Amino acid sequence: MVRRGTLADGREIFHYFDVGSTPVPPAPDLRELPPVRVESEIRRDPLTGQWVAIAAHRQARTYRPPADLCPLCPSRPGSATEVPTSYDVVVFENRFPTFAPDVPGEVSPSRAPGRGRCEVVCFTPEHDGSFARLGPVRVRTVMEAWADRTSALGALPDVAQVFPFENRGAEIGVTLSHPHGQIYAYPFVTPRTEQMLSVAEDHLASTGRPLMGDVLAVERNGPRVIAESPYWTAFVPVAARWPVEVHVVPRRHVPDLPALSAEERADFAELYPAVLRRLDALYDKPLPYIAAWHQAPVRVGHDALWLFLEVFSVRRAADKLKYLAGSESGMGVWINDATPEDVARRLREVHN
C-alpha cells in the first residue's frame, strides 16, 4: 500500500508500507523551505553523440552531515528532516535533482532542458542499517516501490529510461550514509543501455532468442555462479570489469521491474540480501558497492533486453581500491586484476 504526501516546498513524497503494518497518513512537513529551482540542461557531445547532463545547482547539495543531522532519518522534536514521520519505505523527489519535470528551455539537436525526474528511496528508518540486513518483507516493499515508481515515471512525457540504483559506502562517493537509493528518470536512453540494446537486438535477429537467456544458460552450468534460487541466478560475469561484480538475473525473460511476478519478487527478497551478505563477508567488512537495475527503456527494446541487477565494487583487496586509470578513463578499455572465476569461488566459500 502507498500513501502520497507533499513536502513543504511542493515536492511529492510516497510512503510504502510493509505487509502487516498499519498504514498511517503522512504527517505535514512544517519546515519553511524555498521552492526548488532546477536549471539543468543536457548537451550532446559532438565527438561521441552522447548526452551529458549539466546541473550546476547540485554543488549546493548536502555533503556528509553528522548522524544527528541526517536528512533521511525520520523527523523528531528539534530536528525536522525530509521525512516528517517514521516509515517503512519512503520515496520522495530529490531537492537537488539532475533532472526535473518543468525545467525551462528550448529543445535543439545539440542542447535541451534536463527534463525528467530524480527521486530518493529510503529503505529503512535505521540510520546504521543496510540493505543486506533487511528482512524479506521489507525487501518486498522496496521492490513494490521500485516497480510502482518505474511505471509512474515511465508514463511522464519526457522520460525515455528509468534507472533505480543504490550507492553504498564513502569509497563509492556516497554523501549521505543513511541506507538509501535513487531513481533517475532520464530524458534520453543512456549510452550503456544503447550499447547493450544494439548487441541484444543483433543477437535476437540472428538467433530468435534473447541474448541474456543464452548467457544465463551458459552461466548456470559454469564456474561463476555464486547463488541460485527457484527464480533467480547470481553469478560473476565472464568479462567482469570490476574487481567484485555480480549479476542477479531472473530465469524468466522480463523487460523491467513491473513485469516481475509476485513469486519472482518474493524469491528475490530472499536471495538478494544473502548475496549482499556474501559480498560483505569477502573482506570481513562492509563492501562499498553500486547496485544498478538494468531495465529496457520506456518505449523500445522490450523484446530484446532482459532485466538484471548489476552489483559492483571498487574494492580490489581488503586494503586497496580500484581507481580508473588511463585505459579505463581515457579509452573505455577495462583491465581487471582478478579473474571472474576466482572471485566467484571466493564468494561461494565465504560464510555469510
Q: Residue 161 above 80 pLDDT?
A: yes
- Compute the radius of gyration of the chain from its Cα atoms: 20
Shared domain for 180 and 199, answered yes or no, is no
Q: Note the pLDDT of residue 172.
A: 92
DSSP 91-128: EEE-SS-S-BTT------SSEEE-BSEEEEEE--S-TT
pLDDT band at 25 (very low <50, low <70, confident <90, very high): confident
Instruction: Report which secondary-structure segment, H or E, holds 8.
Output: none
Shared domain for 277 and 228, answered yes or no, is yes
Those residues whose C-beta lies under 8 Å from the C-beta of residue 221, and which sit 6 or more positions away, are none
Q: Which of 54-68, 81-95, 132-146 has the lowest mean pLDDT?
A: 54-68
Q: Note the pLDDT of residue 63.
A: 76
Q: Is 70 annotated as a binding residue?
A: yes
CA distance 167 to 98: 16
Q: C-alpha cell of 351?
A: 560464510
Q: C-alpha cell of 102?
A: 518543468
* pLDDT, tens only, 308-336: 999 999 999 999 999 999 999 999 999 99
Query: What is the mean pLDDT of the segment spanning 185-208?
Result: 98
Q: Is 302 annotated as a binding residue?
A: no
Shared domain for 176 and 206, answered yes or no, is no
Query: What is the mean pLDDT of the segment spanning 56-79?
Result: 87
* pLDDT, tens only, 259-276: 999 999 999 999 999 999
pLDDT band at 290 (very low <50, low <70, confident <90, very high): very high
Shared domain for 48 and 138, answered yes or no, is yes
Out of 180, 203, 247, 294, which one is annotated catalytic?
180
Shared domain for 231 and 152, answered yes or no, is no
The C-alpha cell 548522524 sits at: 67
Shared domain for 149 and 206, answered yes or no, is no
Shared domain for 117 and 6, answered yes or no, is yes
Q: Is 118 annotated as a binding residue?
A: no
Q: Residue 351 above 80 pLDDT?
A: no
Q: Note the pLDDT of residue 352.
A: 64
Query: What is the mean pLDDT of the segment spanning 185-200?
Result: 98
CA distance 107 to 21: 46
Number of domains present in the structure of the chain: 2
* pLDDT, tens only, 37-51: 888 999 999 999 999
Percent of the chain with pLDDT over 90: 89
CA distance 205 to 266: 33
Shared domain for 52 and 66, answered yes or no, is yes
Catalytic-residue membership of 15: no
Domain that holds residue 252: 192-349
Shared domain for 93 and 225, answered yes or no, is no
Shared domain for 112 and 237, answered yes or no, is no
Last residue of a domain, one of 138, 172, 189: 189
DSSP 294-351: E---SSS-TTT---EEEEEESEEETTEE----HIIIII-----SS-HHHHHHHHHHS-
Q: Residue 12 above 90 pLDDT?
A: yes
Shared domain for 313 and 282, answered yes or no, is yes
What rounded mean pLDDT belongs to the chain?
Answer: 95
Q: C-alpha cell of 145?
A: 516501490
Q: Between 56 and 194, name the one with better pLDDT.
A: 194
Q: Note the pLDDT of residue 61.
A: 77
Domain of 247, CATH number, reads 3.30.428.10
Q: Note the pLDDT of residue 255.
A: 98
pLDDT band at 27 (very low <50, low <70, confident <90, very high): confident
Q: Between 248 and 24, name the one with better pLDDT.
A: 248
Those residues whose C-beta lies under 8 Å from the C-beta of residue 330, and which sit 6 or more positions away, are none
Percent of the chain with pLDDT over 70: 100
Q: Is 73 annotated as a binding residue?
A: yes
Shared domain for 301 and 286, answered yes or no, is yes
